[in-house]
Amino acid sequence: KESINETTYEHLDCVIDDDPLGFENGWSDEIGKLEDPLEEVNLAEEGETPKSTYVSSLLEKSLKQEIIKILNEFKDCFAWEYTDMTGLDRTLVEHRLPLKAGKKPVKQNLRRFAPEVVEKIKGKIER
């Protein structure tokens, strides 16, 4: 501990961990194995635009059929497109950058990764 002008400062040791980050250890593969496999169900009538939703493939067949029956019964309650949400303010779904009139927008500098990180990224992309 160190005192300067009646203010006490405590020095803390910092532990630097050079281990790879979580995504480099393949944790996403483990999570993928834990998730339920999904089965796509189309709730649209013949000739309509597709109205797809997903149901777990691990459900018993009778329960799955009951859920699909209920989803079909209440499919008019879901908003399949933005136009189905009448009365909803457009500003809730529109993205707009707040720009000042007459001012030139600020351009951010290009950000680059460290060379060793670039190699890892290329390796992941090319897999």
With respect to residue 111, please indicate whether it lies within any of the assigned structural domains: no
With respect to residue 123, please indicate whether it lies within any of the assigned structural domains: no
CA–CA distances in Å: residue 101 to residues 3, 106, 125: 52, 13, 41
With respect to residue 100, please indicate whether it lies within any of the assigned structural domains: no
Total structural domains within the chain: 1
With respect to residue 79, please indicate whether it lies within any of the assigned structural domains: yes
Question: For 60-93, how does the pLDDT look when each residue is reduced to its tens digit (9 = 90+)?
Answer: 999 999 999 999 999 988 888 877 878 888 777 7
> What is the pLDDT at residue 53?
92
With respect to residue 35, please indicate whether it lies within any of the assigned structural domains: yes
With respect to residue 122, please indicate whether it lies within any of the assigned structural domains: no
Residue 14 has pLDDT above 70, yes or no: no
Compute the half-sphere exposure of residue 107: CA atoms within 13 Å on the CB side of its CA. 3
CA dist., res. 43 & res. 51, Å (int): 5
With respect to residue 11, please indicate whether it lies within any of the assigned structural domains: yes
Q: Give the range of the structural domain holding residue 75, as residue numbers without chain letter.
A: 2-94
